[in-house]
Chains A and B, each alone.
Chain A
């Protein structure tokens, strides 16, 4: 779909790196005025509704029948700041508030939303969403029972209480560090983002789930010059964290990465093109799991039979030392969630256990169809969208080998370290990821730096070709965003050092 966009920023650039284009922001006040009534729940107060209003809207939503239905109230405020050319001269903020209304009957979904949280507007949206159904009224709850608040990313100081005056010195610190690390550094830009998000989900089966989700990300771009040659690189860190997370040490590590990744580009070349062994360094290489298997395990694709993994549950797909997990319950990770966006408790799903394909990632619709419990994987970008099965934090557990053993086993191949983006075809299983930085491996030794190559493989084939897994698993600290079907959600990924015995590497110097 190509749609025109009228509001907002500059031209979208070709690069896929999802980085805020403009920045800035600061402290806030409460966005909603407090209603006269005495609501039972601070989130209800925030959204200006109460149990009776919510029940009334739910009743309208299910008036023509429903297997499941939900109201997804959301309020988010995101603040951005930009430092370019030595000054922070641009701030921006964005408030998104609305309620999404969904009716599910079998595999059918009716969806509407409104940004006007008054009863008449919500009732009108409920009637629109319920038009998918043509059955008889189901009994909607008269009251909703509050589920316990999660504790994965509790914050002492919400972002609304942090002013620009606190953020600005940190951005200046990052800039000065970057400039001092190498005299070839010519331009430095620092992009700050923080977000407070509140969601409240009321379900047809009478649950009321609330979640306060913080998020922050700092991105640094560096441009360096040697003679006529110009190179640029970047790094970023992101988490469901608060202001104190940004220690000097953490920021300095990020700056070091950005400067190192940039300076190495002056000496980096393209590898030879073609098939070769590929070593994936620990951390960000979890992008392999996201693309090669994660998406293919999302149950919406499988219940429709369109995924290459549709008929593989219970089968051996990898060596016995390969275990792949999707887990939302890792505290403060970018992909962490207390509850998913359908109000189900988020959890830990083992996709591959000791080489055997175990479980898909389910939302309410697919779980019902498979006769299983949802895995808490129903996510959505915002109140504007219906949820679907999504990943959270996807990683591979440690294996029996060491990084050194893996490198020594390769005669001629590459090791990949940093990435910008990836993609997959669910049915064919072909997937790609773009390697920004890496190294040639020759005769068991890491030799020259490489850059800018796309790598392509086939999911099930690559899983079979994971011949070594090291014991150095770690999650990446970068700010990854998954864009399935046009809906962006924050995710995390991680992996130990891994050897894939054969993949197709983009390259030059074809004979």
Chain B
């Protein structure tokens, strides 16, 4: 892992210019990924890989194209880049396709994000196996376990970029995840299945493997005897883990590309009180040890904290340089980092106790949303809420509505953000939601 990636990226830019490009932006990545998986008491899978690739964006004669390859043989790379420049000439000119201006990458923050844990790079096989055993043992502590798969997933990523207008930088990070998925015998031919995964840039930030295995088993046990809930209009409490994915759906079309292409329900909402006053979402790439923290994005744009929604008012959307120019919007970043939902002051138990009749959602199953209108319909798993407490498990149900309308019905926000996702969302309570079941 000692290759000078920055030099490689810079060399690719040079090759592109020699081949006739006016501007070029190259990114070289290198990663090592290791996966150890245990199933039912024995090692089932070991995967250990080192991977590399090079990507280059070419700007020539008012035209643009981008290319990537895993074949880094020097001679062939030269041909690849020359051909990439030749391809560009066959396209139509577009005044909005220009390299990231220097002003957008000049003031990059310093490297104090602490994204590299040296102990990840030094992990030994025996340590990984011992973690797998610990996960596996705890995940099996129930008489109805049919099978449990436990894993340790770790790695190191490096990425360097160079550009013809003076960008030259490198980012590194490590990751380590523990996880287990469990299947339990349920009624008839049915099996209950669930799992739990926890990860971070540093091993020290992870819960122990026993805790991860225990949570995986507990989540699965809570699914036993699941039935179908009623067709009803009621409150919906979404747990923090499921909330992360719901926030992801909400933000899906909140970008310049979707707006410029007229495929976003966010278009008329910019600057407006679009959602409930309790909703605040910030994109924060500068969280120390954050899962999606960075000093610059894929276009080189300097990382900064970006308010998306403040007290329900839409402040910003994700704007890359191309669609920003084309749509008349100032670039922010086209690539989300850590999406942080501002927590409230109530625990999950307190949120549940506020609800007379409703469904507590712990995960989604399928479903989708129309980005143009915000109309959505999602399958769900969870529990009925009975007298303010978690009741019987339910599944095979849908929740249907419109994302803008749903988030204007957001009543309460919990104090329990889920830490193992780049979307840091707490539990959420919505009122007047349409459920379909039996």
A165 to B63, CA, bound (A): 15
**A447 at interface by CB-CB < 8 Å:** no
Which of the residues B51, B68, B228 comes within 8 Å of A384, measured between beta carbons? B51
Whether B261 lies near A189 (C-beta < 8 A) is yes
Counting chain A CB atoms within 10 Å of each CB, the highest count among B125, B231, B436 belongs to B436
Q: Which residues of B contact A (CB under 8 A)?
A: 27, 29, 39, 42-53, 55, 63-72, 75-76, 79-80, 83-84, 87-88, 90-94, 97, 125, 146-147, 153, 155, 157, 159, 171, 173, 175, 177, 179, 183, 186, 189-193, 197, 199, 223, 226, 228, 231-233, 248-253, 255, 257-258, 261-263, 291-292, 298, 318, 320, 326, 334-336, 365-373, 375-379, 381, 395-401, 420-422, 434-438
In the complex, chain B residues whose CB is within 8 Å of the CB of A446: none
- The answer on a CB contact under 8 Å between A97 and B71 is yes
Which of A22, A113, A132, A427 touches B191 (beta carbons < 8 Å)?
A: A427
Contact of A452 among B231, B255, B370 (CB under 8 A): B370
A15 touches B368 (CB 8 A): yes
Is the Cβ of B75 less than 8 Å from the Cβ of A434? no
Please, which residues of chain A bring their CB within 8 A of the CB of B153? 1
Q: A331 CB to closest chain B CB, in angstroms?
A: 31
Q: List 18 A-B contacts (CB under 8 A).
A: A15-B369, A25-B87, A87-B92, A89-B94, A93-B67, A93-B68, A109-B47, A110-B45, A115-B53, A223-B262, A232-B262, A304-B39, A427-B186, A428-B192, A430-B395, A434-B366, A456-B366, A510-B232
Interface residues on A, range: 35 or more
Residue among B27, B372, B438 with max Cβ neighbours from chain A (10 Å): B372
With CB as the reference atom, state the residue of chain A lying closest to B191. Answer: A427
Q: Contact between B231 and A91 (Cβ–Cβ < 8 Å)?
A: no
Quick check: is A308 within 8 A (CB to CB) of the other chain?
yes
Q: Interface centre among A6, A8, A96, A98, by most B CB within 10 Å?
A: A6
Query: Which residues of B are found within 8 Å of A139, using beta-carbon distances?
Result: none
State how many angstroms separate the Cβ of A171 from the closest Cβ of chain B: 11
Interface residues as binary, A395-437 with B (CB distance below 8 Å gives 1, 0 otherwise): 0000000000000000000000000111101111111111010
Interface centre among B93, B369, B370, B377 (most CB of A within 10 A): B377
Q: How far is the CA of A451 from the CA of B368 in the complex (A)?
A: 12
Determine the distance from Cα of A265 to Cα of B263 in the docked complex, in whole angstroms: 14
CB-nearest residue of chain B to A22:
B66
- B434 contact from A95, A132, A304, A510, Cβ within 8 A: A510
* A115-B52, A165-B90, A510-B435 given; A504·B193 CB < 8 A: no
Bound CA span A306–B182, Å? 9
Flag if A451 contacts B395 (CB, 8 Å).
Answer: no
Nearest CB of chain B from residue A73's CB, rounded to whole Å: 13
List, in ascending order, chain A residues with CB within 8 A of B226's CB.
428
Chain A residues whose CB sits within 8 angstroms of the CB of B255 once the complex forms: 10-11, 13
A67 at the interface (CB under 8 A from B): no
- For B436, the closest partner residue in chain A by CB is A273
A401 and B137 CA atoms in complex are apart in Å by 53
| Contact (Cβ within 8 A) A273 B434 | yes
Please, which residues of chain B bring their CB within 8 A of the CB of A90?
64-66, 91, 94, 97
Residues of A within 8 A of B (CB): 1-4, 6-11, 13-16, 22, 24-29, 31-33, 84-85, 87-98, 107-116, 128-129, 131-132, 163-165, 168, 186-187, 189, 221, 223, 225, 230-232, 265, 270, 273-275, 304-312, 384, 386, 420-423, 425-434, 436, 451-458, 460, 504-511
Report Cα–Cα, A509/B432, bound state, in Å.
11
Q: Which residues of B contact A85 (CB under 8 A)?
A: 326
A115 to B232, CA, bound (A): 54
- Determine the residue in chain A with the shortest Cβ distance to B197: A1
- Complex CA–CA separation, A511 to B45 (angstroms): 51
Report whether B398 and A113 are in contact in the complex, using a CB–CB cutoff of 8 Å. no
Q: Contact at B71–A7, with CB atoms within 8 Å? A: no
Q: What 9 A-B pairs are tightest by C-beta distance, nearest first?
A: A14-B252, A427-B191, A432-B366, A89-B94, A506-B398, A273-B436, A423-B366, A506-B377, A6-B159
Across the interface, do A458 and B67 meet the contact criterion of CB distance under 8 Å?
A: no
Residues of B within 8 Å of A163, CB to CB, are 90
Q: Is the CB of A7 within 8 A of B159?
A: yes
Are B44 and A95 in contact (CB-based, < 8 A)? no
Report the bound CA distance from A95 to B49 in whole Å. 18
Partner of B396, one of A384, A451, A504: A504
Residues of A within 8 A of B262 (CB): 186-187, 223, 225, 230, 232
Query: In the complex the two chains form, what is the Cα distance from A95 to B372 in whole Å?
Result: 33
Max chain A C-beta neighbours (<10 A), residue from B46, B251, B334: B46
Cβ distance B182 to chain A, nearest Cβ, rounded Å: 9
Q: Which of B29, B52, B189 contacts A312 (CB 8 A)?
A: B189
CA distance A93 to B70 in the complex (A): 12
CB of B371 within 8 A of CB of A14, answer yes
Q: How far is the CA of A6 from the CA of B115 in the complex (A)?
A: 14
Cβ–Cβ contact B396 & A458, under 8 A: yes
Given A425-B365, A454-B368, A510-B233; A305-B83 close (CB under 8 Å): no
Query: B52 — which chain A residues lie within 8 A by C-beta?
Result: 115
Q: Which residues of B contact A89 (CB under 8 A)?
A: 63-64, 91-94, 97
> From residue A451, how far is it (CB to closest CB) to chain B in Å?
7
Give chain B residues whose Cβ lies under 8 Å from the Cβ of A131.
46, 48, 125
Give Cα A306–Cα B396 distance, bound, in whole angstroms. Answer: 19
Q: Is the CB of B70 within 8 A of A97?
A: yes
CB–CB B368/A421 < 8 A: yes
CB within 8 Å for A306 and B193 given contacts A11-B255, A421-B366, A504-B436: yes
- Beyond A91-B91, A94-B68, A108-B45, whether A274 also contacts B437 by CB under 8 A is yes
When the two chains form their complex, are residues A434 and B87 in contact, meaning their CB atoms are under 8 A apart? no
CA distance A309 to B191 in the complex (A): 10
Partner of A10 from the list B64, B91, B320 (CB cut-off 8 Å) is: B320
**Nearest Cβ on chain A to B170's Cβ, whole angstroms:** 10
Given contacts A508-B434, A510-B436, contact A456 B397 (CB under 8 A): yes
Q: In the assembled complex, which residues on chain A have CB atoms less than 8 Å from the CB atom of B76?
A: 31-33
Given contacts A90-B97, A108-B45, A510-B232, contact A422 B197 (CB under 8 A): no
Question: CB-CB < 8 A to B320: which residues of A?
Answer: 10
Cα of A453 to Cα of B401 in the assembled complex, Å: 9
Excluding A14-B248, A506-B367, A506-B377, 7 further A-B contacts by CB distance (< 8 Å) are A24-B66, A92-B66, A107-B39, A187-B261, A187-B262, A306-B191, A452-B376
